[in-house]
Structure 1
Amino acid sequence: MNILVTGSKGFIGKNLIAELNNRGYTDIFEFDKDTESSLLEDYCKKADFVFHLAGVNRPKDQSEFMQGNFGFTSELLNTLKKYNNTCPVMISSSIQAELDNPYGESKRAGEELLFKYSEETGAKILIYRFPNVFGKWSKPNYNSAVATFCHNVAHDLDITVNDPSVVMNLVYIDDVVKELINALEGKENKVESFCEVPVVHTRTLGEIVELIYSFKKSRKDKSVPDMSDSFIKKLYSTYLSFLPEDQFNYDLKMNVDNRGSFTEFLKTPDRGQVSVNISKPGIAKGNHWHHTKNEKFLVVSGEGVIRFRNIHSKEVIEYFVNGNKLQVVDIPTGYTHNIENLGDVDMVTVMWANESFDPDNPDTYYVEV
């Protein structure tokens, strides 16, 4: 199947082409503003489907809106007609096509061209009026406010929010791409004359900015955002894509003594925390119990033993563990416990607790196993 993608180096184009490749589509004609213009003839002659994503968002001169969003659309459709190619054509429009501004007028003009083209040729057309699209590979100060905010916060630059109460409707790039591939396969989500992405998120500008700043802070307080909220999950992925390439890493505070070290890795509001414990040879750590706090231990390197004793019993239970056979050991409430390194090298244990450590209510009581 020959697929023509105009605007192939743009935000949506790059994401679409990457996923088309993932799904085994190989005959993709990529056309962008720096592509040899004569190739459009060959592409329009052979195309079985057209994704028309090329357009102008923020030109230096407002006259470029009509030239980029109407003029090239006209050229594309005329070239398809020249070769009697009535393959389906999808066009990337905008919700601003409903507004009377230069950008909206140019998008509406492109839509009207497509409606007329369909009437003349009988070709199937799919017009998507996208709201704000966000995700990886978007351009700050061009594609969306979300891209600008993510870029600026990640790079320690100021942002300007004139009215935090402004409500935004947003679609995520992966949801956009999924819908476009559905359209390619004849399963588009169409409502009356237009097609739309079925998953739309609604948030205020203030909420979005607050979330982005919390993502930046999370590297210091070791927190993980609420991934059960699909919008937060998608926005966090978008934010990470804007990290400076020399700042992917960040330090953790290692609590070091002669026994080894203990380092908090991740904290969540509702799924507890993860830490890394390193024990020197011959060292035993723990000897405490909890009322409600429970843990999971996973030794990933070295060898040792985890001992338990119900505080109302004298019987000691032992579980031998090592990094060559990964086993999770639950630490039930009411059992005092310790972990001892039986090997000749450091033993590394990944520890999960069902709640983040609260110094005002540690729920930890010293009792020897």
Structure 2
Amino acid sequence: MKILITGSNGFIAKNLITHLERDESHKLYLFSKEDSESILEAYIKEVDFIFHLAGVNRPKNIEEFYTGNSSLTKSIIDTLKKENKNTPILITSSTQALLDNDYGKSKLEAENILKEYSQNTGANIFIYRLPNVFGKWSKPNYNSVVSTWCYNISNNLDIQINDSSTELDLVYVDDVVSAFIGNLTNKSKEQYFSVDTVYKKSLGEIKDLLYSFKSNRENLLIPNVGSEFERALYATYLSYLSTDDFSYELKGYEDERGTFYEILKTLDSGQFSLSTTAPGVTRGNHYHHTKNEKFLVVKGEAVLEYKHIVSGEKISYKVSDKKMEVIEMIPGYTHNITNSGKEEMILLLWANEVFDRDNPDTYFLEV
């Protein structure tokens, strides 16, 4: 399919392009404000679908709202009429199209131009009145508080907030792109469409989450970033890190036995750690009543020993990096691990709860 994308240097367009480029059956025609209208006209003659994403929301003067929004839309429609084409068009409008301001008025004009085109030609049109869109590559200090805060907080700059209780309707750019691409084969005669997932979040909630992402490097405590808004916001925040700030050093503990590093702590699924142990050294000799752990030797070899704290029954396991084998630490068994090799042993550990110094549930008892 031959696809035209206007506003191709914009935030949403960049994300859309990277998804469309993965399908070799698509040929993309990209138009930005730096290109001439003669190029746009030539592209319109060729394509089978138009993503009209170009628009103006930060003009130098009011007239630019209309030239960049409604007038450009009219120019596209005029070319289609001249070529006797009824090419499907998807346009990014705004929830402000219902408001009495020049930006909203110019977007509403563009919508009406598109609806008249559909009425006269039978062409499919897809109008998206988007709320606040956030995600990677959105320009900070432009028109998105999320992108501005992500940039500022990740770069140790202050943010401004007037009312923490103010709520925003937000859509994530990946959800927007998915919805857009789904319309390439959509023959619906509906004209207005929306992104399925809309998040309603207060400025205070957004601020607190962003600062928790930043502090994760110090306290190692990561919020629940595996789904929904937190997943999308965390990905967005990470995309604003400067290129010399992709890594951070862990603070560890070292003694004659080896080293120990906490890697990551979760809100409800425990924590991950790593230890190194010198040859012949034994660690552990303690038990837990409720806490449980998983051990994985990723380098070297070791012997795990257990003893039931009531019956005295003993069990042992030999493990090494030759076999990726997870060993469970069972409540009610005192246990230890000994580096049985000639080289340093590296152990990856998971515990089902974050370590609590006031209630460690860890009791010394030799195996």
Partner of 2:224: 226
Cα deviations across residues 183-205 of structure 1 (Å, max 9, x unaligned)?
112177x9x64110011110111
Letter aligned with residue 272 of structure 1: G
- Is 2:352 aligned against 1:349? no
- CA-based RMSD: 1.5
Q: CA deviation at 1:65?
A: 1.1
Does structure 2 retain, via aligned residues, the 8 Å contact 1:57–1:142?
A: no
After superposition, what is the alpha-carbon deviation per residue over 1:192-230, rounded to whole angstroms, capped at 9, x for unaligned? 641100111101111111111111111111011113551
1:178 aligns to 2:213 (yes or no)? no
Match for residue 256 of structure 2?
A: 258
Q: Aligned-pair distance for 1:83?
A: 1.4
Structure 2 counterpart of 1:54, which letter? A
- 1:161 aligns to 2:156 (yes or no): no
2:160 & 2:225 partners in 1: Cα distance? 27
Q: What is the CA–CA distance in structure 1 between the aligned matches of 2:24 and 2:223, rounded to whole Å?
A: 34
User: 2-side partners of 1:59 and 1:251: how far apart?
Assistant: 44
Structure 1 segment 322-341 matched on structure 2, within 5 A:
322-341=320-339
> Which runs of structure 2 are paired with 1:108-187 in the superposition (5 Å)?
108-186=108-186
State the Cα distance separating 1:233 from its structure 2 match: 1.1
Query: Structure 1 143/322 Cα, relative in aligned 2: closer, same or farther at 3 Å?
Result: farther
Cα distance between partner residues in 2 of 1:249 and 1:228: 21
Q: Report how many residues are paired.
A: 367
3-state SS in 2 of match to 1:38: helix
Letter in 1 for 2:297: V
Offset, 1:158: 1.4
Deviation at 1:36, TM superposition (A): 4.4
- Structure 1 Cα separation of the partners of residues 249 and 207 of structure 2: 25
User: Within 5 Å, which residues of 2 pair with 1:1-369?
Assistant: 1-186=1-186, 193-227=191-225, 229-369=227-367
Return the alpha-carbon distance in structure 2 between the equivalents of residues 169 and 349 of structure 1.
45
4+ long deviations beyond 6 Å:
none
Moved more, 279-288 or 17-26: 17-26
The one-character-per-residue Cα deviations of 1:47-106 (angstroms, maximum 9, x if unpaired) are: 111000011121222321111111211111112222122111000000011111111111
Three-state SS of the structure 1 residue aligned to 2:305 is: strand
CA distance in 2, matches of 1:44, 1:290: 70
CA distance in 2: counterparts of 1:229 and 1:164, whole angstroms: 24
Distance 1:144 1:40 in 2: 28
Aligned-pair CA distance for 1:15: 0.5
Structure 1 residues 51, 267: closer, same or farther in 2, change over 3 A? same
The 2-side partners of 1:279 and 1:12 are apart by 50
Residue aligned with 2:356, SS: coil
Residue identity in the other structure for 1:184 = L
Q: Does the 8 Å contact 1:282/1:341 carry over to 2?
A: yes
Contact 2:270/2:350 (<8 A) preserved: yes
Identical pairs, percent: 52
Q: Shift of the alpha carbon at 1:25?
A: 4.1
Q: Is the 1:11–1:143 Cα contact (8 Å) retained in structure 2? A: no
Shift of 1:324: 2.2
